[in-house]
């Protein structure tokens, strides 16, 4: 299998000139196409920092992050924005939907930025809203959707530009048990059917139980890497 993410020697130090905080200390990690991986560990372990560095939302102090043979640590800010738009889908704890847009408009937003045709956008939105079970909520705004439904729209939005992989930061933190189960069922199905790579940062045991690989961080270092059949 091809590695879609290859992280090598990643360190991240905050406040290096005053009171240094070593968030990551020499992390190496490779993730293959189609993995369903959870980054876990206590608060302050570095898992969200690592996720943000993989996604180009934060800069490493040292080390390289190679995505699809491209070292993103060498890209300019403008190049990085373009690269993220084409290759990385994000799902956040807070959904981050645009409140004045409908569910359909939220899902197609990145494709608009990419200059995709209306026909292509409509086809993709229809496919994705069906996949997340919300075909009947196309014209609802976020305020008219439950938390679980908003997070499903957020997943559809992340998938819309056909990214190389999805990064999900605590995606179930604001959801009840039923919404969490539905969301995880949906993502696991997309992972199996379409070979979409998911990388989670999570405290949620329900997510951890579904993951086929669990990478545990403590004090900025990987302390275990468990591959398993789920």
pLDDT, one tens digit per residue, over 5-19 is 999 999 999 988 888
Asked whether residue 120 is assigned to any structural domain, the reply reads yes
Nearest CA among 35, 70, 39 for reference residue 52? 39
Decide if 150 is inside a domain: yes
* Maximal CA-CA distance, the chain: 54
In a domain, 153, yes or no: yes
pLDDT, position 173: 85
How many Cβ atoms from other residues are within 10 Å of residue 93's Cβ? 18
230 has a pLDDT exceeding 80: no
**φ, ψ dihedrals at 127, nearest 5°:** -60, -45
Report the CATH number at residue 145.
3.40.50.300
Q: For residue 160, is it within any domain? A: yes
Q: CA 56 to CA 75: how far, in whole Å?
A: 10
Q: What is the mean pLDDT of the chain?
A: 91
Q: How many domains does the chain have?
A: 1
pLDDT at residue 129 greater than cutoff 80: yes
Asked if 196 and 2 touch (Cβ cutoff 8 Å), the reply is no
User: Phi and psi for 161 in degrees, rounded to 5?
Assistant: -80, 10
**What is the C-alpha radius of gyration for the chain, rounded to an integer number of angstroms?**
17
Cα torsion 116, 133, 196, 224: sign: positive
- Is 189 within the bounds of a domain? yes
Polymer length in residues for the chain? 230
SS3 (DSSP) at 140: coil
Residue 100 in domain:
yes
> Which residues, in sequence order, are CB contacts of 172 under 8 Å at separation 6+?
151, 179, 180, 183, 184, 202, 204, 206, 207
Q: Is 23 inside any structural domain?
A: no
The residues facing 197 across adjacent strands are 165
In a domain, residue 105? The reply is yes
The pLDDT, as a whole number, for residue 50 is 96
Instruction: State pTM to two decimals.
Output: 0.89
Average pLDDT over residues 57-74: 94
pLDDT in tens, 86-109: 899 999 888 889 999 999 999 999
Q: What is the pLDDT of residues 7-55, one digit of tens each?
A: 999 999 998 888 888 999 999 999 999 999 999 999 889 999 999 999 9
Identify the pLDDT of residue 189.
87
Q: Chain-centre distance of CA 214, in angstroms? A: 15
Residue 171: pLDDT above 80? yes
Q: Can you give the residue range of the structural domain that contains 80?
A: 35-47+75-227
């Amino acid at each position: 299998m091809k590695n879609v993410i290859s992280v090598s020697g990643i360190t991240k130090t905050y406040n290096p000139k005053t009171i240094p905080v070593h968030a990551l200390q020499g992390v190496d990690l490779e993730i293959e196409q189609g993995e369903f991986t959870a980054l876990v560990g206590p608060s302050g372990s570095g898992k969200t920092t690592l996720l943000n560095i993989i996604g180009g939302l934060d800069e490493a102090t040292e080390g390289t992050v190679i995505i699809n043979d491209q070292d993103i640590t060498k890209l300019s800010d403008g190049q990085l924005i373009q690269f993220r738009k084409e290759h990385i889908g994000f799902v956040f704890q807070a959904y981050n939907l645009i409140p004045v847009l409908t569910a359909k408009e939220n899902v197609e937003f990145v494709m608009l930025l990419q200059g995709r045709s209306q026909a292509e956008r409509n086809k993709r939105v229809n496919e994705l809203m069906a996949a997340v079970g919300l075909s009947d909520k196309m014209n609802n705004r976020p305020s008219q959707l439950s938390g679980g439904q908003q997070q499903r729209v957020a997943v559809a939005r992340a998938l819309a530009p056909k990214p190389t992989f999805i990064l999900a930061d605590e995606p179930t933190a604001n959801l009840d048990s039923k919404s969490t189960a539905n969301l995880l069922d949906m993502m696991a199905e997309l992972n199996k059917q379409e070979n979409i790579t998911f990388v989670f940062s999570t405290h949620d045991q329900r997510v951890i139980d579904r993951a086929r690989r669990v990478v545990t961080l403590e004090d900025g270092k990987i302390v275990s890497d468990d591959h398993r059949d789920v």
